[in-house]
């Protein structure tokens, strides 16, 4: 009985000390943090103890401490009311290396032919089952994907606007005379002209979407140039996040766009990721797979344009993604 009492006293001292310590930190509000976590998934809440008690660390936090890596997948799609609403025309595979502080981003072309289907059709064909896309890419490339994020056009627009816009350097002046006039082609199937000048531009959500989505410009068109621009947008997102010194602002943005995105990344882990990014130099490396290196184009039996790996060897793409020297 005496031993049990001693254990309870020790635990109370630990908890009291933790709360006292954080209550003295100007930037930390324990009540607010708990409030932000209310309503999140069970998996997210199960990670709270590991954040509040550093000696109870999650696998994610251990990877940060050990300088290991995590892989993630990002899927972008039009959303309700959009032509091809759930085709994931943006597929980005990423790696966060906590040892080097380097983030690697590699495009997965929408026309990549895998298991008798274009890879951008899998999300829609499986009733928006993100795990099915994750499984297919894992099996095809022989890699593991730890986390995923899906977001539609409206979520993208709102996130950018809530962050106050994005500062993006446009590498090439271009004109696209075939940009869709409306997300929903049942409302307006016409096209419009958009123009970008070389140089820095502060982009609203709509403008950043145009920059990331355009693919018909003579000067900077095609899916592969579009993938490069999308990676530049993500780079700007990263910079904007680091400029946001109050993590509660980021939580608020997540709440605002919550109906337009999905992720299996526990929100509470975002605190640890945010702290890591603020205390380390985080560099981004862009990698593009295309017909100029690892892919070739052909046509399927229905006459549709598709992309296949040279020599039918996906291992070269895997090595390209994982090799930090390339």
pLDDT at position 252 is 82
pLDDT greater at residue 73 or residue 3? 73
List Cα–Cα distances, 161 to 87, 126, 245, 260, in angstroms.
24, 31, 17, 14
CATH level 3 topology of 56-322: Aminopeptidase (3.40.630)
What are the residue ranges of helices labelled H in 126-195?
A: 130-141, 153-162
Taking 60 as the threshold, does the pLDDT of residue 15 lie above it? no
Q: Could you count the other beta carbons within 10 Å of the beta carbon of residue 170?
A: 17
CA-CA-CA-CA torsion sign (177, 179, 185, 188): negative
Whether residue 9 is predicted with pLDDT greater than 50 in this model: the reply is no
Tell me: the pLDDT tens digits for 173-227?
A: 999 999 998 877 667 778 999 999 999 999 999 999 999 999 999 999 999 999 9
Choose between 221 and 46: higher pLDDT. 221
What is the predicted pLDDT for the residue at 182?
A: 80
DSSP summary character for residue 114: E
Domain locations along the chain:
56-322
**Using an 8 Å Cβ cutoff, are 77 and 121 in contact?**
no
Query: Does the pLDDT value for residue 38 go beyond 80?
Result: no
Each residue's pLDDT tens digit, 60-114 = 989 999 999 999 999 999 998 777 899 999 999 999 999 999 999 999 999 999 9
Residues 6 or more apart whose CB falls under 8 angstroms from that of 193 comprise 175, 176, 177, 179
Alpha carbons 20 and 10: distance in angstroms, whole number: 15
pLDDT band at 7 (very low <50, low <70, confident <90, very high): low
> pLDDT for 275-301, tens place per residue?
899 889 999 999 999 999 999 999 999
Tell me if 267 sits within 8 A of 254, measured CB to CB. yes
């Amino acid at each position: 009985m005496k031993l049990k009492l001693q254990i309870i006293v020790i635990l109370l001292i630990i908890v009291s000390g933790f709360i006292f310590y954080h209550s003295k930190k100007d930037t930390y509000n324990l009540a607010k943090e708990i409030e932000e976590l209310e309503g999140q998934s069970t998996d997210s809440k199960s990670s709270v103890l590991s954040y509040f008690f550093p000696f109870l660390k999650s696998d994610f936090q251990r990877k940060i401490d050990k300088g290991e890596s995590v892989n993630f997948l990002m899927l972008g799609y039009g959303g309700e009311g959009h032509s091809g609403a759930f085709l994931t025309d943006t597929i980005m595979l990423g790696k966060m290396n906590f040892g080097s502080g380097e983030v690697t981003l590699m495009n997965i072309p929408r026309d990549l032919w895998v298991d008798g289907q274009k890879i951008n059709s899998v999300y829609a064909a499986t009733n928006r089952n993100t795990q099915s896309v994750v499984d297919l890419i894992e099996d095809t490339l022989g890699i593991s994907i730890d986390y995923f994020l899906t977001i539609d056009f409206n979520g993208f627009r709102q996130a950018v606007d809530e962050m106050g816009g994005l500062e993006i350097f446009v590498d090439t002046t271009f004109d696209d005379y075939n940009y869709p006039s409306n997300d929903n082609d049942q409302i307006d199937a016409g096209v419009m002209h958009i123009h970008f000048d070389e140089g820095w531009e502060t982009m609203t959500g709509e403008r950043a979407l145009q920059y990331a989505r355009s693919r018909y410009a003579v000067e900077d068109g095609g899916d592969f140039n579009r993938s490069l621009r999308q990676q530049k947008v993500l780079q700007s997102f990263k910079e904007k996040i680091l400029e946001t010194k109050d993590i509660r602002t980021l939580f608020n943005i997540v709440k605002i766009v919550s109906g337009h995105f999905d992720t299996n990344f526990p929100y509470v882990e975002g605190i640890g990721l945010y702290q890591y990014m603020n205390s380390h130099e985080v560099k981004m490396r862009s990698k593009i797979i295309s017909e100029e290196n690892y892919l070739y184009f052909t046509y399927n039996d229905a006459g549709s344009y598709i992309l296949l790996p040279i020599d039918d060897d996906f291992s070269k793409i895997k090595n390209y993604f994982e090799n930090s020297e390339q």
